Structure 1
Amino acid sequence: MNADTGETPKGGHVVVIGGGIAGLAAAHRLVTAGRRVTLLEATTRLGGKLRAGEIEGVPVDLGAESMLARRPEAVELARAVGLGERLQQPATATAAVWTRDALRPMPKGHVMGVPGDAAALAGLLSAEGLARAEQERDLPPAEAAALGDDIAIGRYVADRFGREVVDRLVEPLLGGVYAGDAYRISMRASVPALFDAARAHGTLTEAVRAVQSKAAQRTGPAFMGIAGGIGTLPGAVAAAITSHGGQILTDTPVHALTRGAADWHIRTGERVIHADAVIVATPAWSASELLAAESPAAAAELAAVEYASMALVTLAFRRRDVEGALPAGSGFLVPPVDGRTIKASTFSSRKWAWTGEGSGDLFVLRTSVGRYGEEEHLHREDADLVSVSLADLAAATGLSARPVATEVTRWIGGLPQYPVGHLARVARVRDAVAKLPALRVCGAVYDGVGIPACVASARRAADEILATPTLAHGTLSDERE
């Protein structure tokens, strides 16, 4: 029964497998549309890569810390579950790039590191790299055929601007999103607006300016956080689901998903849950196993998706030991070409007002470690990751203070990789899944790894389930064991 309206859910029973933000968003969409929903999560914790925690009593995010606000889906979900008044934009968003043995200001006027004016890269690139980048405007116009159906963003930008632009700027920015390799990552999947503009304009400079022109028409902050942490969003969504009569079962791994004569059978241990419809919102490897019996084609495609792992090292210092040492701004990125261990550092107590206000005499910052193909660091002990983070921080900023507390969070298999051809793979998966009655998939592997993209993927899956003719009235009114 819906706790708000007193009405009995209608339109059948839908099971959502996976309790990350995509699964939670799908379940929320369904239950607020009046459907009976059961969400199953294999672990004891909801939220996936969104995780709230604390260090020395200071609330922190131990996973994703912000969401793109110029895509509306995540912000809309936060508002829908009562977090609207806690949405915050960064207190400062001025970042640097630690490269060529110095912290250098992040240049303005770029799209994921691709410049609209090569001159803006002065100081970041070497003299030779800058001269090569400035040649882009004089190169023969590229034809759409040069991009084909897809191309690695690193390859295309290097062809137009030179490798140094990729290595010193595109790579660290993309690495922060995908923990991937720019020379493998699909331009069409990772920066679709730029891919489309590049097909329509002769030079990449013109393409970047076209994308920037459209972006300038938007209002509001580019990114938002939540006071208390982005990691509080899953709990708020879960509370909204249960308040509408939905059921959430954690520590409930699904061992088999099969289609019966008229419904779906979801086996969890010795129990079988029957459902009119199912949404699979798990990582690719798990979705592959679940779909193997009913859709071998989709399962094979999903099994081929690769993932990158990473670790976050959260450090708490005495504020008096830090403020004079750290440079201004919200942190810095680190290009892999420079051979450092960390790939970024965020000065959390400066970037987020809620962290700074709640930290008292403490200053919290974090580093990230691990990229695709460079995951050996993640097998090191926590103390080793703290030590290498402190060594890199000292080399970058001169910070010599010792932290009063540390926290290492590992995200093994945390980020799906989007190589050239990824969107074609996703299309094949969805085509195969669409042949099954009342089953859909969603999550970071399909439409983007950011929180808004995951929520959008969940909405798409839920809306397609809601539009299924047999779900309009439902076929099951009980749960049969």
Structure 2
Amino acid sequence: MSAAHTSSRHVVVVGGGISGLAAALRLLEGGVRVTLLEASGRVGGKLHAGEIAGMPVDLGAESVLARRPEAVGLARAVGLGDRLQPPAATAMLWTRGGLRPLPQGHMMGVPGDPAALAASGVFSAEGLARIARDAELPPTEVGEDVAIGTHVAERMGREVVDRLVEPLLGGVYAGDAYRISMRAAVPQLFEAVRTHRTLTEAVQALQARAASAPQQAGPVFQGIEGGIGQLPLAAADAVRAAGGGIRTGTPVRSLARGADGWSVTTDAGVLAADAVVLAAPAPTAAALLADASPAASAELAAVEYASMALVTMAFRRSDVEGLLQGSGFLVPPVDGRTIKASTFSSNKWRWNAEADPGLFVLRTSIGRFGDEDDLSREDADLVSLSLKDLGEAVGLAAAPVDSRVTRWDRGLPQYPVGHLGRVTRIRAHVSRLPGLRVCGAAYDGVGIPACISSGQQAAGEVLATLTARDEGGE
């Protein structure tokens, strides 16, 4: 698309998370005028750069999947390419009363080599025997969709779900494996189980394919020096440098479709827009589309969200020396602990360790879908509960020199069975609204690359709409 066709066009992006920022950059590349409106006082959404004890830390997402190109590509495009950094060390599982190595050879917790699980100490003899039975069972039909926990439990038993799949999936979705859609969360596995006799064979086929793919070279995950929270800040700078406007602290109160475009109402006034990219969470999108598309609004309102809290703490390194090994640990919910995971940030990220060699930063996560009672506690209580679990897990007895609790209320959209059908219906309803598209974590994946892709796709569709309109096609 040439700027000549669209230089007079104005697009409003509602939402300043990474999806909205990616959409704004794509729109600016297409030659339109862009105004991004963010309700909160900062851009970035769940990507949040902060400080503790004077050290930079991530108070939200801390890494990106590097096997997809979108996030690494955006980081390079906004000048952060030389600050990309792979994580160090390895994660453990805190289960059955001790820290145990995270078993290898799995895909999101689903084993591809059952024999490799025995040495981990994570599974009982009965659990290992049940996993091996997958090879003997007749094929299982999965239909149009199935919960990943349900299918894995049917093939390999509940123990592998409870001890391995749940903590790994929980780290991504803060969800319940027995509800999470395999088709939505692990689509390549869903397709594989439809064409292979056993679940083990399906995982092995995917692993073999991945091993032979040239794009699989290099680290699986990447961080950014100073924190992943630097990515939206750099993206926002790039938006401004390209002539785009960003207004934080500016919630959108209503959207209205007119004869010539859209009216976007804020407390500061009404903006006229030729098109709108709605990059807000599902509840906000539902409210804003209530008049323009009641059907889309109803579907969006039904999207469920999980809440969680991150407890970030800084310790004197001398107080924790020798206690904190590896990059941290995951905690199976079946073990009944308060924390669901702990990341030893100063072991995992070189930039964190170098920021202040005399301090050690770690964080814990609390809360998941259906298990949010602890989130009603005060911040100090969440710190105390985290310290109690850390004491039992690694023998940590020291008090932190600083702590910070970050709460993500209704922060993570859930992908239950049927989620993709809901997304299809939402987009079908929205497609009937000329010049409006939706994007974000509620649709095509909660990971950062998926959110960036979602924003770029929505922007591309809006640009195509504007081109057709300018050429007399609409």
Structure 1 residue 240 corresponds to structure 2 residue 235: no
2:110 aligned with 1:101: no
Deviation at 1:366, TM superposition (A): 0.4
Mapped to 2, the partners of 1:50 and 1:349 lie a distance apart of: 19
1:85 and 1:411 map into 2 onto residues whose CA distance is 30
Measured in 1, the distance between the counterparts of 2:354 and 2:417 equals 43
Displacement of 1:474 in angstroms is: 9.4
Is the 2:435–2:466 Cα contact (8 Å) retained in structure 1?
Answer: no
Q: Does 1:404 align with 2:401?
A: yes
Find 1:53's aligned residue among 46, 50, 53: 50
Where do residues 466-477 of structure 1 align in structure 2 (5 Å cutoff)? Answer: 466-470=463-467, 473=470
Aligned equivalents of 1:8 and 1:76: distance in 2?
A: 27
The match for 1:362 is 359
Q: Deviations over 1:65-120 (max 9, x none)?
A: 0000001101111111111000111122x111111111110011100000001122
Residues 7 and 471 of structure 1: CA distance in aligned 2, closer, same or farther (over 3 Å)? closer
| Contact 2:339–2:364 under 8 Å retained in 1 | yes
List structure 1 segments (4+ residues) > 2 angstroms apart after TM superposition.
Answer: 6-9, 469-475
Deviation readout 1:333-375 (Å, 9 max, x if unpaired) = 0000000000000000010000011122000000000010111
Q: How does 1:277-316 map to 2 (within 5 A)?
A: 277-316=275-314
Look up the SS of the partner of 2:396 in the other structure: coil
Distance (whole Å) between structure 1 residues aligned to residue 123 and residue 394 of structure 2 = 20
Q: What is the aligned counterpart of 1:168 among 163, 166, 170? A: 163
Letter in 2 for 1:133: I
Q: Select 2:112's aligned residue among 107, 116, 122.
A: 116
Task: Give yes or no for contact 1:314–1:408 (8 Å, CA) kept in 2.
Answer: yes
Report % sequence identity: 67
Within the alignment, does 1:333 sit opposite 2:293 as a pair? Answer: no
Measured in 1, the distance between the counterparts of 2:125 and 2:99 equals 17
SS at match of 1:317: strand
1:63-78 maps to which residues of 2 (within 5 A)?
Answer: 63-78=60-75
| Partners of 1:307 and 1:372 within 8 A in 2 | yes
Q: Unaligned stretches of 5+ in structure 2?
A: none
1:374 to 364, 371, 374: 371
Q: Secondary structure at the match of 1:147?
A: coil
Residue 203 of structure 1 corresponds to 198
1:177 aligns with 2:172: yes
Summarize deviations over 1:153-211 as a string: whole Å, max 9, x none. Answer: 00000000000000000000000000000000000001011001011111000100111
Q: Does residue 445 of structure 2 align to residue 448 of structure 1?
A: yes
Aligned equivalents of 1:51, 1:108: Cα separation in 2: 31
Matched residue SS, 1:467: helix
Output the CA distance in 2 between the equivalents of 1:69 and 1:80. 15
Q: How far, CA to CA, are the matches of 1:361 and 1:269 in structure 2?
A: 47
C-alpha distance in 2 between matches for 1:147 and 1:386: 42
What corresponds to 1:40 in structure 2? 37
2: CA distance, partners of 1:348 / 1:398: 18
Query: Contact (CA 8 Å) 2:46, 2:60: kept in 1 or not?
Result: yes
State the partner residue of 1:463: 460
What residue is the counterpart of 1:257 in the other structure?
255
Shift of 1:32: 2.0
State whether residues 12 and 474 of structure 1, in contact with CA within 8 Å, keep that contact through their aligned partners in structure 2: no
Matches within 5 A, 1:81-96: 81-92=78-89, 94-96=90-92
RMSD: 1.5
Partner of residue 130, structure 2? 132
Q: CA deviation at 1:444?
A: 0.1
Counterpart amino acid of 1:155?
Answer: T
Gaps of 5+ in 1: 1-5, 476-481
Q: Deviations over 1:10-66 (max 9, x none)?
A: 151110000111001100111122111000011111100000011111110000000
Alpha-carbon deviations, 1:380-439, whole Å to 9, x = none? 111100011001011111111111111111000110000000000000000000011011
Helix, strand or coil at the partner of 2:229: helix
> 1:60 & 1:282 partners in 2: Cα distance?
25
> Residue 99 of structure 2 aligns to a residue in which SS?
strand
SS in 1 for 2:361: strand
Query: Is the Cα–Cα contact under 8 Å of residues 310 and 371 in structure 1 kept in the other structure?
Result: yes
Cα distance change of structure 1 residues 469 and 250 upon mapping to structure 2, 3 Å threshold: closer
Cα distance, 1:270 vs structure 2: 5.4
Distance 1:7 1:319, change over 3 A: farther
Q: Does 1:147 align with 2:142?
A: yes
TM, length-normalised to structure 2: 0.96
The equivalent of 2:15 in structure 1 is 18
The answer as to whether partners of 1:11 and 1:473 remain within 8 angstroms in 2 is: no
**Structure 1 CA distance, aligned partners of 2:439 and 2:471?**
22
Cα drift, residue 473 of structure 1: 4.0
